[in-house]
Amino acid sequence: MRDKRYDVLFEPMAIGPVTAKNRFYQVPHCNGGGYRDPSAAAAMRGVKAEGGWGVIFTEQTEMHHTSEITPFIELRLWEDQDIPGLRRMSERMKSHGGLAGIQLAYSGVNGPNLYTKEVPLAVSAQPIRTFTNDPVQARALDKSDIRDLRRWFVNAANRSKRAGFDLICLYGAHGFGIFQHFLSRATNHRTDEYGGSLENRSRFVREVIADIRDAVGDTMGITLRVSLDESIGDLGFSNAEVRDFVEMNRDLPDLWDLAQGTWEACSGPSRFKEEAAQEALVQGIHDLTDKPIVGVGRFTSPDVMARMVRSGTLDFIGCARPSIADPFLPKKIEEGRIEDIRECIGCNICITGDMTMSISRCTQNPTFMEEWRKGWHPERMNAKGDSGKVLVVGAGPAGLEATRALADRGYDVALAEAGRVLGGRVARERLLPGLAAWGRVVDYRAYQISQKPNVESYFDSALDATSILEFGFENVCIATGASWRRDGVSRQHVVPFATDPGMPLFTPDDLMDGGAPAGHVVIYDDDHYYMGGVMAELLVQKGCTVTLVTPAAYVSEWTLNTLEQHEIHRRLARMGVTIVLNRGVTAIAGDHVETNCMFSDTRSPIGCDAVLLVSSRLENNGVYTALKARAADWADAGIKSVKLIGDANAPGPIAWATYAGHRYARELDMPDIGDALPFRREITALAAD
């Protein structure tokens, strides 16, 4: 039963001519699949419909071929041929009474047009502003281009209607989308009636909304997504100007969709942003308009959501990541199952699917983007197979997810953990600076497991091959994790290199175990994800002087894909960490490290008192190897299968581990598919030759 406190979240509300059944609003988010994987993306939205979202949006949809953001894989609505794929998506979105929305994007100065080879058109002539600094410049729209662009928006709106959508979102936030480019003085240098005053800079969006309203406004709601604060210096579209803009155009769209300035700030990771971090920026805007407002802020707590609506700050609770981590969030609140919510941990792994043009993953929800490819459902497991019992060895993220999902399938599971707490690496890493929210990976699974009568957990149970054979479980899943290497082997050094035993050497595991280097510590980061930067913060907190040396061109380079890199660098620099880029470490002497330039190999020493090696990790697969060596004894012991999963198999980010655990649980007792592809995919249909 739903708690009365949350009733306000389930009140219907009109958005122009259409009505949302509740206040749960899945704001646009990409998924790395887009036009390449249309059925996978449609099925993912369909699961959200089932999970109770009142409004479900696509990701940004390129609405005209003269503006596209290759290599990123989003949706396209360039011509009628694109309609059937999008219709499939809108049908899935509407399958449980939700509204289907499409976000139309004309990227202007953000679209390098690498695929269509068209000359980019922007509000003013400028170099293209992309993640990759493409060596391309945009031409300024002239008056006839503006007329064309208005017509293209109307064409796209008509196609959206034919594709079955109820809502159109005009994209002008995150620095992306031509509407923001008109509004911001950083990208609008025009001297005609579209530039200069705020009134003039608002002209284009007013015209487009009027055009679209004439075309489809009787049946479709029109929303406008604008940045709450562009935060790019004096010329940026500031929060004060946003307020003036809304007041000046009170009733312009059917709904205001307000999202913080840059994408990095809007999708800020939990390392740097709390839940509801945009509250101050959006507070009070409601007084300036009669139209409803949706806002975002990694909302996972129903109390915070209800407060947002009751206080009149927001009308709709916008969620991207929380809806990825738990597509059934609204339904769980409605059914009074708050403790079952799988809360987003704010790690931004979901964004890496888009940034790497692969397909998205989610640390908390391993079924994300596998709904169609593998037929995985976030709340339902496949039927149980023939065997009855499973022993899971290791209660890290892989072992915990395997246990939870196996128990859901109906297996009797024994979970054996060598230590005294659940969580493995996550139990340790959640104590590091900024990573507390990552503990939700453990908390969600520990609670779910505690509710299952068919799971027994054993602590202080470091099992060896002999005891596993004696137990005689039918299936054994080894998830014993990994440990940081002490020899510096990673990418620069593929074999161990010279180290003087006189220099105190540490690994991240040592620090997590309470090890305390003192004085000047050199961190040699050849891992390139978050750990090097987090360790630097930890050491500064402990009073050390820190120099971080990395062969990469960026500190914590891979976090460019999680949108964290700039904030990490800024934070470390402000903390006084000396950051040495493009240099490796060739040797560790008794009182210094010898560094080398990655391009010229020029050597130079850095004196220090201790070295922290953030290199790579070694699989803890000893039990598995010993069991394999005794494979001849398995049948007598009643063992049908032994499988190695997660970091113990091949170390990776936590999302890789939860995926491995989930996959193990799904595939146990399933028929061997031999050499067949283990997922469905779509192949571009060949046109006539």
Residues that bind ligand FMN (CB under 6 A): 27-30, 59-60, 103, 171, 173, 225, 259, 266-267, 296-298, 319-322, 350-351, 354
Beta strands in 252-350 (DSSP E): 255-259, 293-295, 316-319
The residue (of 29 and 663) whose beta carbon lies closer to ligand FMN is: 29
Note whether 369 binds ligand SF4 by CB under 6 A.
Answer: no
Contact 506, 631 (CB under 8 A): no
362 binds, among ligand FMN, ligand SF4, none (CB under 5 to 8 A by kind): ligand SF4
What DSSP state is assigned to residue 262?
B
Select the binding partner of residue 345 from ligand FMN, ligand SF4, none (C-beta < 5 to 8 A, by kind): ligand SF4
Question: Would you say 259 or 347 has its CB closer to ligand SF4?
Answer: 347
Minimum distance between the CB of residue 351 and ligand FMN, rounded to whole angstroms? 4
Minimal distance in Å, beta carbon 90 to ligand SF4? 23
Residues 6+ apart with CB under 8 A from 445: 397, 400, 401, 403, 404, 422
Cβ atoms within 10 Å, residue 85? 18
The candidate with the shortest Cα–Cα distance to 353, out of 87, 59, 43, is: 59
Q: Does 48 bind ligand SF4 (CB under 6 A)?
A: no
Least Å distance, CB 93 to ligand FMN, is 15
Would you list the DSSP string of 260-302?
A: -SBHHHHT--TTT--TTTTHHHHTTGGGG-SS-EEE-S----H
Q: Which of residues 284-343 bind ligand SF4 (CB under 6 A)?
A: 321, 324-325
Q: Choose from ligand FMN, ligand SF4, none: what does 59 bind? Cβ within 5-8 Å by kind.
A: ligand FMN
* Least CB distance to ligand FMN at residue 99 (A): 16
Site for ligand SF4 in 141-160 (CB under 6 A): none
28 or 661, CB closer to ligand FMN? Answer: 28
- Among ligand FMN, ligand SF4, none, residue 30 binds (CB under 5-8 Å by kind): ligand FMN
The three-class DSSP label of residue 124 is coil
Closest to ligand SF4 by CB, 444 vs 634, is 444
From the list ligand SF4, ligand FMN, none, pick the one residue 469 interacts with, judged by a Cβ distance below 5 to 8 Å according to partner type: none
x/- track of binding to ligand SF4 for residues 335-364 (CB under 6 A): ---------xxxxxxx-----------xxx
- 3-state SS assignment for residue 140: strand
Q: Which of 356, 416, 409 is nearest to 662 (CA)?
A: 409
Q: How far is the CB of 60 from ligand FMN (least distance, A)?
A: 4
Determine the Cα–Cα distance for residues 165 and 89; give it in Å rounded to an integer.
9
**Shortest distance, CB of residue 561 to ligand FMN, whole angstroms?**
11
Residue 34's binding partner out of ligand FMN, ligand SF4, none, with CB under 5 to 8 Å set by partner kind: none
Helix pair angle (531-541, 565-575), 10° resolution: 20
Q: Calculate ∠ Cα 107-245-225, nearest 5°.
A: 40
Minimum separation from the CB atom of position 348 to ligand SF4 (A): 5
Told to check if 430 binds ligand SF4 by CB under 6 A, we report no
Residues 657, 402: Cα–Cα separation, whole Å: 10
Token pair in block for residue 643: 């499988």
* Percent of the chain that is helix, strand, coil (3-state, to 5): 35, 20, 45
Cβ-based nearer residue to ligand FMN, 275 or 474: 275
Q: How far is the CB of 435 from ligand SF4 (least distance, A)?
A: 12
Count residues binding ligand SF4 (CB under 6 A): 13
Least gap, CB of 110 to ligand SF4 (angstroms): 23
Q: Which one of ligand FMN, ligand SF4, none interacts with residue 347, CB within 5 to 8 A by kind? A: ligand SF4
Under DSSP, the state recorded for 516 is -
Q: Could you tell me which residues come within 8 angstroms of residue 575 by beta carbon, excluding any fewer than 6 positions away?
A: 536, 537, 540
- The pairing of strands 99-105 and 293-295 is unpaired
Residue 16 φ/ψ region, left for φ over 0, alpha for ψ in the -120 to 50 degree band, beta for the rest: left
Distance from C-alpha of 594 to C-alpha of 258, rounded to nearest angstrom: 50
Q: Which residues have a Cβ under 8 Å from the Cβ of 144 and sit 6 or more positions away? A: none
The two three-digit tokens of residue 480, written as one number: 């014993």
CB of 59 to ligand FMN, least distance (A): 4
d(CA 268, CA 664): 32
- 369 versus 593: smaller Cβ distance to ligand SF4: 369
**Of 249 and 363, CB closest to ligand SF4:** 363
* Residue among 176 and 444 whose Cβ is closer to ligand FMN: 176
Residues that bind ligand SF4 (CB under 6 A): 321, 324-325, 344-350, 362-364
